[in-house]
Structure 1
Amino acid sequence: MASPEKVASPVDDNTVGKVHQPDAEEGYTADIKETIHNVDHDDAADLFAGTEDVFESTAKEATWVRWKLDLILLSMMTISYIVSFIDKVALSEASIFGIRTDDNLGGQDYSWVNSIFYFGYLFAQYPSSILMQKLPIGKYFGAMTLLWGVVTTCMAATNSFATLATCRFFLGAFETCLSPILTVLVGQYWTRKEQPLRASIWWAGGGIGSFIADGITYGVSGSSFSGSKYAVWQIIFLIFGPLTIGWGIFLFFCLPTSPMTAWFLTKRERKIAVMRVIDNHTGIENRRYKLYQVKEALKDPQAWMLCSIAFLQCIPGGGLTSFDKIVLTGLGYSDRQATLMSFPEDAIQLCSVVVAGIFAQLVPNSRCALMIVANTIVLIGAVLVDTLPESHRLSRLGAFYILLVNTIPYIMCMSLVSSNIGGFTKKSTCGVMLFMSYSVGQIIAPHFFLASQSPSYPTGFRAFYVCVALMIAIEFGMIAYYYLQNRKRDHNAISAPVAATDTIAYDFLDLTDREHAGFRYVF
């Protein structure tokens, strides 16, 4: 395949041994040497084949492309996460409106029903990662969304632990593609500086989804539905499921596979979109499976640190997702009041992730620090919920609310995978490792909430602060690791500087972060 002789990208005259990171305010001009010709280069290079010697764009054009991506693609990603979160928390909504009685859930059955979702998640993780590389992402994602909508609808017909557990297993299997696909899309379309905010925005769909789920549940639990032949918990699934089915059909036809096929960009805008992110080292559309990158991912310390944080974060995260409504009833609120009292926690979750995303974009190398701050807040909240006497109901409620900042560490983990892992196969492998750790954590989390301790669950909250303390220690370790790696690379760059044009050419070669001499880690 022919590749371009010259393609645009800005180069900083002061940069030694690394590629200059373009901002939207800059133009795009550069010279990429013929060394990528007939090499296993990123397919994005073919977009420029046959073009003029120098491709140039203005700052205004670059800004316009970014706005298009934010308004169209990012909106689609956020809505996708909203519908997935609504379907995932539907069981928590139904838990206080009769599903545990009607489906004969006794003992730890409710905990197992929550865990089984993530057995499906684990079961389908590897096949999903392969299909992501073999199939057009838009078609695959749309089909999976439609299928999990069908499963959500079917949950209204469950009448036993076995039928409910089966539905939850398949719901997890179909939803397993969600976070990996959204993480890959962030790396394909946005610069490393822009990624934390965009990851936070689509993840904020969880808070928005909670608002929507709580609002719908509160509405259908009112007196106007008291004469329905369906129970409140069944109505919840019959509303949420069809909404997801409709969105899946939309994604199937409208979600692009890559910047090179984005229907909302002109051919020129697609080139600009590619040039914006060539320094991400992601392999924009290089879907060749490379075994050596898998081995490198398995030997990379940062991958295992990120996996550890993802696992530990799921203990508080999974517990809150599954049991928050029950805990609220334990604070003295009725079933319907518990739904209403969930709105403040939804607001905290939504605002915290957006504020963290904005801060991470404005302040360089602040992601690990944000993780530490968020986990410190969760640690304080968990200790207060566990130790305050029951007579201090409002104080315990406030402490419970601040636990909802717990989503920040996981968002920052995903943004670090997008920014710090180079090579498409290595990034995909690290994504699978991260989400497998996430799944195992979510499987374990509900079992710290013992049925005999309902609705206060002291063991669950003690598990919270043990896991959070471990996360803080690991996050300090990550800061040290990234700092030392960057200092070593800076030293090597002084000893053996790499020409700027060579480092730009490397961006099309699908190299890993360890192979690329100009790569610098963000933290």
Structure 2
Amino acid sequence: MVDEKKPSSFVSKDEFQTQEQVPFEKTEAEVKFVSKMNRHFIPFVCVILFLQFIDKGTLSIVALIPEFFEDVGIDRDQYAWCNSIFYLGYLCMQLPNNFMMQKLPISKYIGVMLVVWGAVLFCMCFAHSFSQLAGLRFLLGFFEATTYPAVFLLIATMYRRSEQVVWFGIMFVSNSVATIIGNSAAVGILRMPTIGFFSPWKWAMIIYGSATMAAGFVVFFFMPDRSDSRWFKVTEEEKQIIEDRARDNAVVPNRKIKMNQIWEALKEPRLYCYCLISMFVNFQNGALTSFNTIIISDLGFNSTDSILLTMPYAGAIITMIFISTWLSKKYDETIYVAMGACVISIIGLTMLAAIPSGGVKLMGIYLSGGCTPSYVLLQASISSNVSGYTKKIFYTAGNLVFYTIGNFVGPLLLRDKEAPRYLSGMGVYIAANVLTILLFAYVRLVYVKTNKQRHLDKNVNIAALPEDLEDMTDKENENFVYRT
């Protein structure tokens, strides 16, 4: 927020509309401040996303333990429904989450949600029927649904638009690290004897649930959620830096819901393009997250090897995320790189559909992970091209509704009778990637056209926003430069 006294870096509305575009250079003081912010804030982001992903994926780990299906009394089709119903809970939380993010301190909100969903995961060890397991999976999705939009919003408000793509990438790298560490632990869990009344799969729920609850208390008390948080020990010089960075983001946090920004968003075709892209890329994400160990085991590998062979899949995703975010930052091109990631995904899916069996098919699984960097870059595009606090939250919420639909539908397209090639499911995923490329191309065309109409160059930066135009949307701000 700005002080009541008008800082010298602010300009009048008339001056703002006519001021010259100038190249942006980060000062040494800002570099030091950002480094301090990274040290105190990013570790929390990584831990939250790590736990969120490992807790969501615990079901796919225990699916390789024979006692799991026997104890709960489900088959593979019911297992697919238990994976999908997680996203039904995720979907139901989006509207209340949208409201609560604008009304509550985000660090406190996330901390409470971590404790609650950790308790739900813990209770999953007591499930003895399909209905019980499905109900708990619904609740797990409901409470986990708070994390992505909250973290997206924090990064969008605390980091410059040019910095955000890197941190969105780190978010999803945390997910892949969770796969590697979680599956390493799963190898040990597979070999555990029954201890007390709990078989190995139940101990997985107990261990991960307890860790999440403990992390929730730490997040509640110690996580910073504003650039001027007391944990950063901000100096007077850094207060001015924070104001400058907030103007660059064109995001001013406030707790008033502005309906005019929501109506503006609803009238923009790109909102629906972004939502459809989110759904399309997550068809295969939901399926492969739930079924990757099962697909690998169908190739003839035992349970332990199937878990171990998912680690290169996570490693491939990490590599693709680093390469895609590096390319995006180096060439200042987000959408073209996202389209390229979709092409890689199509190649992997084609291999999965075309090759009946054998080790070569593993390469198809690994390449199909291209959907993840394309989703990372989708989030970066939304974050850097939508301004107005309510509008940004609305875009994020809409995007996550369709993310949820994609992840819900995706696993259901893989029918047990079509194993191991799952031809109909793979065909849908390939078609979805093609449509994603076309939608990305349309959005980029709109941005290029708008920048030309405004006579703006994406490679330069407006130095200041006028004080009387705080919390403007990108449409209201004629000097807003869209990043392609």
- TM-score normalised to structure 1 length: 0.86
**Residue number among 310, 323, 331 corresponding to 1:363 in the alignment:** 331
How far off its partner does 1:464 sit? 1.5
Inter-partner Cα distance in structure 2 for 1:322 and 1:507:
50
Q: Establish whether residue 177 from structure 1 lines up as the match of residue 178 from structure 2.
A: no
Alpha-carbon shift at residue 151 of structure 1 (Å): 0.9
Aligned length: 474
Q: C-alpha separation between the residues in 1 aligned to 2:349 and 2:478? A: 44
Q: Distance in 1 between matches of 2:328 and 2:112?
A: 33
Q: Is the 8 A contact 1:197 1:360 kept in 2?
A: no
Amino acid at match of 1:403: S
SS of the residue 2:65 aligns to: coil
**Residues 298, 420 of structure 2: 8 Å contact kept:** yes
Equivalences for residues 66-465 of structure 1 within 5 A = 66-98=34-66, 99-106=68-75, 108-222=77-191, 225-229=192-196, 230-268=198-236, 269-283=238-252, 285-364=253-332, 366-390=333-357, 393-465=358-430
Mapped contact 1:87–1:240 kept (Cα < 8 A): yes
Change (3 A) 1:507 1:187: farther
Match of 2:6, as an amino acid? E
Report the AA paired with residue 188 of structure 1.
Answer: T
Per the TM alignment, residue 511 of structure 1 is displaced from its structure 2 partner at its CA by 0.4
Instruction: Give the Cα–Cα distance (whole angstroms) in 2 for the partners of residues 247 and 21 of structure 1.
Output: 42
| Cα gap change, 1:397 to 1:254, in 2 (>3 Å) | same
CA 1:102–1:511: 2 relative to 1, 3 Å: same
The answer as to 2:484 corresponding to 1:519 is no
Residue 25 of structure 2 corresponds to residue 4 of structure 1: no
Query: SS state of the match for residue 249, structure 1?
Result: helix
Question: How far did residue 95 of structure 1 move?
Answer: 1.2
Matched residues in 2 for 1:471 and 1:105: separation?
35
Structure 2 match to 1:510: 471
Instruction: Tell me the distance in 2 between the aligned counterparts of 1:354 and 1:287.
Output: 35
Pairwise CA distance, 1:186: 1.1
- Distance of aligned partners of 1:107 and 1:344 in 2 relative to their CA distance in 1, 3 Å threshold: closer
Does the 8 Å contact 1:134/1:287 carry over to 2?
A: yes
- Looking at structure 1, the residues matched to 470 and 52 of structure 2 have their Cα atoms a distance apart, in angstroms, of 35
Structure-2 separation of matches of 1:343 and 1:426:
38
Letter in 2 for 1:375: C
> 1:260 & 1:307 partners in 2: Cα distance?
32
The amino acid across from 1:4 in the alignment is K
Residue 232 of structure 2 aligns to a residue in which SS?
coil
The residue type paired with residue 317 of structure 2 is Q
In 2, are the aligned partners of 1:18 and 1:517 still within 8 Å (CA)?
A: no
Deviation at 1:358, TM superposition (A): 2.2
Shift of 1:257: 3.1
* Equivalent position amino acid for 1:480 in 2: L
The 1:2–1:407 alpha-carbon spacing in structure 2 relative to 1, beyond 3 Å, is: closer
Q: Which amino acid aligns with 2:105?
A: P
> What's the CA shift for 1:276?
2.2
CA 1:515–1:21 in 2, change beyond 3 Å: closer, same or farther?
farther
Q: Distance in 1 between matches of 2:8 and 2:127?
A: 58
Displacement, 1:227? 4.6
SS at match of 1:394: coil
Q: Distance in 2 between matches of 1:157 and 1:457?
A: 32
> CA offsets, 1:371-413, max 9 Å, x none?
11111011011111111242xx121111221112210111111
Q: Name whichever of 366-375 and 15-24 sits farther off.
A: 15-24
- Report if the CA contact (8 A) 1:17-1:518 is conserved: no
Letter in 1 for 2:361: R
- Deviation of 1:508 after TM superposition, in Å, equals 5.9
Work out whether residues 119 and 439 of structure 1, in 8 Å CA contact, stay in contact via their aligned partners in 2: yes
Offset at residue 106 of structure 1 (A) = 2.8
Change (3 A) 1:491 1:409: closer
Residue segments in structure 1 that go unaligned for 5+ positions in a row: 25-58, 493-499
Deviation of residue 237 (structure 1)? 1.1
Equivalent-residue separation in structure 1 for 2:172 and 2:375 (angstroms):
10
| Alpha-carbon distance change, 196 to 242 in structure 1, aligned in 2, over 3 angstroms | same
Return the alpha-carbon distance in structure 2 between the equivalents of residues 9 and 196 of structure 1: 27
| C-alpha RMSD of matched pairs (Å) | 2.3
Inter-partner Cα distance in structure 2 for 1:417 and 1:7: 30
Identify if the C-alpha distance between structure 1 residues 140 and 92 changes in structure 2 by more than 3 Å, giving closer, same or farther: same
Quick check: 1:189–1:274 contact (8 Å CA) kept in 2? no
Structure 2: state its 5+ residue gaps.
Answer: none
| Corresponding residue number in structure 2 for 1:61 | 29
Counterpart mapping for 1:478-497 below 5 A: 478-490=443-455
- 1:211 CA displacement: 0.8
